[in-house]
Structure 1
Amino acid sequence: MPSIEIVEYDPMWPDHFEKEKARILSVAGAYIDDIQHIGSTAVPGLGAKPTIDMLIEQAELSLVEKCVQPLQTLGYEYLGENGLPNRHFFRKPIGASWTGRLFNLHVVEKGSDE
């Protein structure tokens, strides 16, 4: 089982989030209602795995299909529901390897309890 790396809080995480949010909106913004920085990297001062989690809300979850190709152009891999109904996942590696991920995207329907 691979080990989990927890690192000191990085004050650049919010900036990395904002820049990636802008990239995502530039290619798929027509299908996205909101993008939020979630998880431990969103909490100032808290140590975390060095992966930025983002929550994308869509008016209808069926719109996720329209986001797959645009997000792939940014280097994301689409994982589908990945075992959790009503939530779709994307991940983006660091470099060409999956040994580390810089971003995880969680896509849900706006207003859902997911």
Structure 2
Amino acid sequence: MSRVTIAAYDPAWPRLYEEEAAQLRSVFQSRLKELHHIGSTAVPGSDAKPVIDIMAVFTSIDDSDASEELLRAVGYSRCTSTSSPGRLFFRKRTPAAFHLHIFPEGSKDIIRHLALRDYLRAHPARRKAYAGLKKSLAWEYPFNMSAYAEGKHDYVKELECRALRWYRSPASKRRG
């Protein structure tokens, strides 16, 4: 049973993403459309689970299926997940931990992830409140990842709605 850990922002997280992204670009080559650092480790100043979330976008999920063997060769293992139909999900544990979320081009989940990341980057008060909730839930449910995730679910959904409105607003200075 693993412990739910929320760590203070680590300035090494962007570098870890860039190093892993370079390896993934090499694995996926021309099949890859986009690669993004998402989640709280992509938000400077945000406390987070120390896991680097990476989103890869392909023309279709079939394009990424062909790379599964190559991903295994660089340390990733495929996980089954029911939280996002139409997504492939992989984990890698080295000295750092990585989660790879693969979506087909056009998936509404792509914008949802980018909007939330950019919104939290641009709104320090929201970032701080979200970090506070995560710390509180990690303290309350130190060995129950499901309860931790369920505890933040409604807050995250509300935050995503705000983020999407902001992201789509022509007046916002987004995409940071």
**TM-score bin (small chain):** 0.7 to 0.9
Structure that is richer in helix per residue: 2
Amino acid at match of 1:13: W
Structure 2: where are the runs of 5+ without partners?
110-176
Amino acid at match of 2:62: S
Amino acid at match of 1:78: R
Amino acid at match of 1:105: L
Structure that is richer in strand per residue: 1
Number of the residue aligned with 1:87: 87
Hey, what's the Cα distance between the residues in 1 that align with 2:7 and 2:41?
Answer: 10
Matched residues, percent identical?
Answer: 37
Alignment size in residue pairs: 108
For the residue of structure 2 that corresponds to 1:54, the secondary structure is strand
Number of the residue aligned with 1:71: 71
Hey, what's the Cα distance between the residues in 2 that align with 1:75 and 1:3?
Answer: 22
Number of the residue aligned with 2:6: 6
Q: Which runs of 4+ in 1 moved over 2 A?
A: none
Q: What is the correspondence of 1:1-114 to structure 2 with a 5 Å cutoff? A: 2-80=2-80, 82-83=81-82, 84-94=84-94, 102-114=97-109
Residues 13-50 of structure 1, C-alpha deviations (whole Å, 9 max, x = no match): 00100010000111212221111000000000111100
Please report the TM-score for the alignment, with normalisation by the length of structure 1.
0.87
Hey, what's the Cα distance between the residues in 2 that align with 1:26 and 1:14?
Answer: 18
Hey, what's the Cα distance between the residues in 2 that align with 1:2 and 1:79?
Answer: 17
Taking only aligned residues, the RMSD between alpha carbons, in angstroms, comes to 1.5
Superposed displacement of residue 79, structure 1: 1.9
Structure 1: where are the runs of 5+ without partners?
96-100
Does the 8 A contact of 1:7 with 1:49 survive in 2?
yes
